[in-house]
Structure 1
Amino acid sequence: MSYRPTVSARPSLALAPLAVALLCALPHPAAAADAYDTDNLFGGWNGERAALVDKGVTLRGDYTGEAMGVVDGGLDTGARYAQQVRVGVDLDMGKLAGWNGGTLRFTLNDRRGNSTSADLVGNRFPIQEAYGGQYTRLSEFSYDQKFNDGRSYFKLGFYAMGNQFGGLSAGTSFVNAAFCAHPLSMSGNSGWYNYPTARWGGEFAEQLTRSVNVRAGWFQVNPNLSGDNVHNAFRPGVSGTTGSLFPVEVTWKPFAGTRLPGVYKFGGYYDSSRVSRKGLDTGAVTGRDGAYVLAEQKAYTPGANPEIGLTAFAEYMASDKDTAQISRWYAIGGVWQGIGHREKDRIALGYVGADINHRLIDARRATLANAGVPADSPLYGLTGAEELVELSYSFQVNPWLMLRPDVQYITNPGTFAYTQTDNALAVGLQAKITF
């Protein structure tokens, strides 16, 4: 019999992002009078914010709140709430020190709350993209430099490499981390890491032609800086390096400047870490690798505004079967922007699937056989892929407030836990505020 934890719905937490968003939409005594005419909640501080930018200091801040509940299937019904608060500053070193094209960046990230996936479904695709590493951490301390009239670029420091490699902007219209905004097989199969996890590294990019850019880098692989290692949140020099990760990515942007632009990314990586094989043979092997193709194409626009209309996207990634948990990754979907007179609103629909390495299933079945589980047990009928369909509506209330009702249907949620779990239907709301 499967374990089904006792769960309370916690309605007050489930409504938290909506309550915050509605409160933020009311007049704030501390906010400047231009709060509704700018891109952030607190406005321009009577001109002080623009004055700082003129001097080379740009302040950043945003909040993401996600209340997602399971209404059918999974392990149990109920709701969970998770949030992220991010603050940072960008220093224009051209204005501050005469280093034209240079920027020094500093970011802190704080996450709190509970996981709908872990508590209520038990699936691999995180239903809330803001869940993971629920503590305050240093997420960036880096320097980047443009030169050669902007055609050449390098970046060095302590930062999240996923901000630079392997992402599609269409994915940010969803709530589930499987879409937002990188294939999970990148981080699930190697030392690749995404925001807010930072490690030491560097990269170089070159604009070869108007439409072709190539980017390559080196990044530290250190598991002690990932996951729930809260004690290392402000220890960028902690020991534990297992190897180096070398990503390469070519970006092609056809039809740039037209009504139907596209973005196509062809990339791969090699991780030099020594790790255990997957499956029956768990001996050590040196090196992990993967390759991917990401595509985003404006398919239709009804008028002169290129933002309005349908953008289609697709993803495919394959990883080496010796070490990968996810052998294949595939996704497809579309985002329509412009609903009636609301030009910034978006509807997004997507499908994503991930195949578990068949060697892991073979090893699980061998374990069952050795334990004397009868051959006709349903436990032997383990599935080979977790799948997700997600539908969201992004309601851009004003430039700094976005509300996103969301529906997700997860198929075979027990795939990566080697269990049979009922398909799950999750619904909820995401709120994003820029301040």
Structure 2
Amino acid sequence: MNTICSYFQRLAVAAPLSVLAAAGFGGYAFAGSDIGTNASPLSIPPALPATPYPDSGVPEGYFFNLRPIGKPLGQYLADHGVYLTGRTLQQAIGVTNGGLKTGTVYEGFNLFGVDLDMNKIAGIQGGSFHFLVNELSGLPLQGFTGSFFAYNRAFALQAGVRLNEFSYEQNFGGIVDVRVGRVPVGTEFDTERVYCEFLYGMCALPAGYVFSKGYPPYNAASWAGIAQVKLPHHLYFHAGIFEDEPSLATIGHWGWPGEDWSPDKVRGATIPVQFGYRTTFKDDPYPKSYAVGGYVDTGDYVDPIANAAGQNRLLAGGAPRLDHGKSGVWVQAEQAVWRPDMTTNRALTLFAGGNVQTSGEANIQNAYFAGLSFNGPFAGRPYDTFNVVGEAINSSSAYSSFIDTSLNLRHMPGISPHEAFIEVNYGIALAPGMTLKPNFEYVWNPDLDTIPHPVSSDRHVVIMGVAFTAFLPETLGLPRLGGGG
């Protein structure tokens, strides 16, 4: 254990510093970016509006406008270096056909926090501090659907209140940015802004990444260090290290200072890197993003099927084998292909990506997805969005053996290891930063992961729901650190 802790601590220092050393400072400024530095997917809006947010009045495409309410207070606080941030996500989800059982669940997520500009507060140029708290209530969906991988947007651990982030960020000349502390998985690895438009299976991060990495989900936080480098010609490089801390899923204080902040809870580290190219509407009439990345997880985890002797433990008995280490790679692409009005950001964007395990015994062997997002589909509704995504998830042979053995012991046939789903949703803009999103999902071959009593008759699921989201800065006209809002 001391070796693992020592290894993690050395990497936590070395990773950001090595990126700083490699970057130089070459005089290149940051290209205009609509993605905040390491912002949590739950604390940024899913897409920029087709036209700028209005500060007064109710323009065509909105039903009302709350921005005048918060703008004076927000500007006063921002002048003193304090930026309020947060969001709410409320979902009503119904399984109407198939699955383990039909029925309706509710799940709600609320996030609130502050970003502090340390230049205004303490004269530290390029410095900022981030504090986020979240609250999750309601029930997860897999008890109805039988699908752990086609999860709903607010899914994570159990209901409760969590410390979502407690970190310090330092920007060096608009070229290198480093963040350290208790950090959630954010926008820098295996995600694009368009992913935030979806409510199932993508959840801002593809399932192939969410269920393979060792560190916690994005509404929890662990010790981490992340370095980002802006390169010339719209290129960038990201590297990070996150502690693997399984106890975050079981202990009761949900990430607040306590036993989980101790180094003796570290069980390895997940080390992701990503290299990519990204443009925005600020510098490209047809914005695009292409990226490749990968990770190494040094942590220990329970083998999907084997006991300590390498046998099928459901048949031979014995304690689960403890596996060590795994790795994976990903590719992703996003491209605006059509703009009906070049004077606004109304655009049809196509995207695709894939995740492949390269070592270890993760439950997902590979996953691939593709879809489209139309920002401003109608001239009279420039702030609405129409979104479609399809994803195929292939279970590993070890995990498939576990599920099939579980079913065979109950005299049931096995199931397909190939799960797939399609989601269609339409975002109705109610007000700046506030959206009502009816949605539909169809799942083929639910994976039955974590289901105590799986049944092979669960071959499909039909899901219908509606989600309400509001982003505090956009909705209330509050400035955002870095010029947003």
TM-score, reference length from structure 1: 0.84
The answer to whether the aligner puts 1:208 opposite 2:225 as a matched pair is no
What is aligned with 2:467?
430
Of 100, 109, 112, which residue of structure 2 is paired with 1:87? 112
Cα deviations by residue, 1:358-399 (Å, 9 ceiling, x for unpaired): 122235545677x5x7xxx6513x201221100000011110
1:74 corresponds to which letter in structure 2? G
Distance 1:47 1:96, change over 3 A: same
What is aligned with 1:125?
149
Residue 288 of structure 1: CA displacement?
1.2
Cα deviations by residue, 1:267-321 (Å, 9 ceiling, x for unpaired): 1111111334444436444321111011111111122146212101111011135
1:258 corresponds to which letter in structure 2? D
Structure-2 separation of matches of 1:305 and 1:192: 42
Residue 186 of structure 1: CA displacement?
1.8
Q: Mean alpha-carbon deviation: is it higher for 190-199 or for 106-115?
A: 190-199
What is aligned with 1:106?
131
Distance 1:254 1:233, change over 3 A: closer
Structure-1 separation of matches of 2:139 and 2:364: 25
Residue 249 of structure 1: CA displacement?
0.7
Residue 99 of structure 1: CA displacement?
0.8
Q: Which has the higher contact order (CA 8 A, sep 6+)?
A: 2
Structure-2 separation of matches of 1:411 and 1:245: 31
What is aligned with 1:233?
255
Of 247, 255, 275, which residue of structure 1 is paired with 2:272? 247
What is aligned with 2:89?
64
Distance 1:192 1:292, change over 3 A: farther
* Equivalent residue runs for 1:315-354 within 5 Å: 315-320=353-358, 322-338=360-376, 339-354=378-393
Query: Are the counterparts in 1 of residues 215 and 222 from structure 2 also a CA contact under 8 Å?
Result: no
Structure-2 separation of matches of 1:127 and 1:271: 23
Structure-1 separation of matches of 2:337 and 2:91: 30
Q: Secondary structure at the match of 2:178?
A: strand
More strand by share: 1
Of 137, 144, 156, which residue of structure 1 is paired with 2:180? 156
Of 301, 318, 339, which residue of structure 2 is paired with 1:301? 339
Q: Mean alpha-carbon deviation: is it higher for 288-297 or for 298-307?
A: 298-307
Cα deviations by residue, 1:136-158 (Å, 9 ceiling, x for unpaired): 0111011111112x011111110
Query: Are the counterparts in 2 of residues 41 and 434 from structure 1 also a CA contact under 8 Å?
Result: no
Structure-2 separation of matches of 1:187 and 1:128: 12
What is aligned with 2:212?
189
Query: Are the counterparts in 2 of residues 349 and 391 from structure 1 also a CA contact under 8 Å?
Result: yes
What is aligned with 1:400?
433
Residue 105 of structure 1: CA displacement?
0.6
Query: Are the counterparts in 1 of residues 216 and 245 from structure 2 also a CA contact under 8 Å?
Result: no
Q: Secondary structure at the match of 2:382?
A: strand
Name the % identity.
25
Structure-2 separation of matches of 1:128 and 1:366: 27
Cα deviations by residue, 1:321-374 (Å, 9 ceiling, x for unpaired): 5321000011000001112311111100110121110122235545677x5x7x
Q: Secondary structure at the match of 2:253?
A: helix
Of 73, 78, 99, which residue of structure 2 is paired with 1:74? 99
Structure-2 separation of matches of 1:170 and 1:126: 17
Q: Secondary structure at the match of 1:343?
A: coil
Distance 1:285 1:179, change over 3 A: closer
Query: Are the counterparts in 2 of residues 35 and 44 from structure 1 also a CA contact under 8 Å?
Result: no
Structure-1 separation of matches of 2:91 and 2:407: 38
Structure-1 separation of matches of 2:402 and 2:463: 31
Distance 1:260 1:46, change over 3 A: closer
Distance 1:105 1:322, change over 3 A: closer
Cα deviations by residue, 1:152-185 (Å, 9 ceiling, x for unpaired): 1111110102343221111111111x11211122
Q: Secondary structure at the match of 2:383?
A: strand
Of 349, 352, 361, which residue of structure 1 is paired with 2:400? 361
Structure-2 separation of matches of 1:82 and 1:143: 31
The answer to whether the aligner puts 1:379 opposite 2:404 as a matched pair is no
Q: Secondary structure at the match of 1:94?
A: helix
Of 426, 430, 443, which residue of structure 2 is paired with 1:410? 443
Query: Are the counterparts in 1 of residues 289 and 333 from structure 2 also a CA contact under 8 Å?
Result: yes
CA root-mean-square deviation: 2.5
Query: Are the counterparts in 1 of residues 160 and 254 from structure 2 also a CA contact under 8 Å?
Result: no
